[in-house]
Amino acid sequence: MSSTQLARYEPSTGWTERCGIDGDHESEQAACEKDRSLRFVRLFARHEHQIYAYIVSVMSNWTDADEVMQETSVALWEMFDDFQEGTSFRHWACRIAYFRVLRFRQKRGRDRHEFDHQFVEAVAEAAIEEADSFESRRMALADCLTRLRREDRELLESCYTGGDQIKHVAERLDRPAKSVYKALGRIRQALFECVRRKVAVEERGR
């Protein structure tokens, strides 16, 4: 039995062949879907931090960013058939994320705590440009983390693990919340500087 390749037209890329589907061949269909799932998981796992950072940078609070990230993740899966192999998954995903951000803002309406549209546009553009360096920054951060003093690393881990509020961490550590805030800020800025230096060295070496 011959298997028919379904084609689809996309204005930007023209006709593209799809995974072989034949309505009478359930096993082929399942294999195709399994392949699709693996490809998606692989790409999504590699780029999730970039997509999330992109969303966070244009949203005004973490709860909204999480909600948009969730909607974006679902949309990416739903639209994965539209992703063209060989093109940038990150760019494609960020484009979808951008529309989810716009839709979320439209739904929510403008309030005084939201970034204005020009800001969103400018930052979204910067985030897309910066995203090229996200992977190397992430690797640099991993290295910088190993260079932290043990107590700093433990404090960082305490503050980030389990979603505890910092004041609860402070109570646990029997320290004033203010001092924990301060220490956390100092550690993050040290990490940021460390990453900056490492990435600069790496770029000079290219």
Partner 1 sequence: MNQRPNLPDPHPQRAELYELLEAFCRGDQSPEEHARMEQLVAGDEVLRREYVQYLHMHVCLRRAFEGADEAEQFERVPAEDRRNEAAALTPATVPLRMPAQSPWQRTGSMLACAAAAVLVALFVFNPFAGNKPAPLANVGQPPKKDSVKAAPPATLTRVLGCVWDGPNPLQRGALLTAGRYMLSAGIAEITFASGAVVLAEAPVELEVVDAARGFVHSGRVVARVPPRAIGFVIETRQANLVDLGTEFGVGVGNDGDTLVQVFDGLVVAEGKHGAAKESGQHRLVAGETLSFATDQAKPRSLESSPHRFVRRFPDPKQRGKDELVPHNVARFDTMHIVPAPRRDNAEPNTPAIKIDGDLSDWDLSGMFLSRCVEPYGENYYAAGAMMYDENYLYIAAHVGDPAPMASVIDPETDSEVGWKGGSIQVRISTNPALGWPLESECVYPGPHGRRPVDVHDQLVHLTMWHFAPKNQPCLNVAYGMNYHGKHTNPAGAIGTFRKDDDGLGYVMEYAIPWSELNAKARPLQAGDVTASCWNVHWSDEGGRVWQGYLIDVINPAAKGFTYQKAATWARTILHRQGQLRPGTVKPISP
Q: Which is nearer to partner 1, 68 or 96 (CB)?
A: 96
69-128: contacts with partner 1 (CB under 8 A): 73-79, 81-82, 92, 95-96, 99, 102-103, 106, 110, 112-113, 115-119, 121-123, 126-127
- The residues, any chain, with a CB within 8 Å of residue 152's CB and separated by 6 or more, are 183, 187, 190
| CA 140 to the chain's CA centroid | 17
Among 15, 24, 150, 205, binds partner 1 (CB under 8 A): 15
Whether the Cβ atoms of residue 171 and residue 159 lie closer than 8 Å to each other? no
168 binds partner 1 (CB under 8 A): no
126-145: contacts with partner 1 (CB under 8 A): 126-127, 129-130, 133-134, 137-138, 141-142, 145
Place of tokens 């060295």: 201
Whether the Cβ atoms of residue 65 and residue 59 lie closer than 8 Å to each other? yes
- Minimum Å gap between C-beta 23 and partner 1 is 9
- Minimum Å gap between C-beta 119 and partner 1 is 5
Count CB atoms within 10 A of the CB of residue 154: 12
* DSSP three-state, residue 61: coil
- Minimum Å gap between C-beta 201 and partner 1 is 16
Q: Which is nearer to partner 1, 116 or 174 (CB)?
A: 116
- Minimum Å gap between C-beta 174 and partner 1 is 20
Count CB atoms within 10 A of the CB of residue 181: 14
Binding mask 16-55 for partner 1 (x = CB under 8 A): ----------x--xx--xx--xx-xxx-xxx-xxx-xx--
151 binds partner 1 (CB under 8 A): no
Tell me the CA end-to-end span of the chain in Å, nearest whole number.
53
Contacts of range 104-108, beta carbons closer than 8 Å, 24 or more positions apart: 104/59, 104/64, 104/67, 104/68, 104/71, 108/64
181 binds partner 1 (CB under 8 A): yes
Q: Which is nearer to partner 1, 53 or 174 (CB)?
A: 53
201 binds partner 1 (CB under 8 A): no
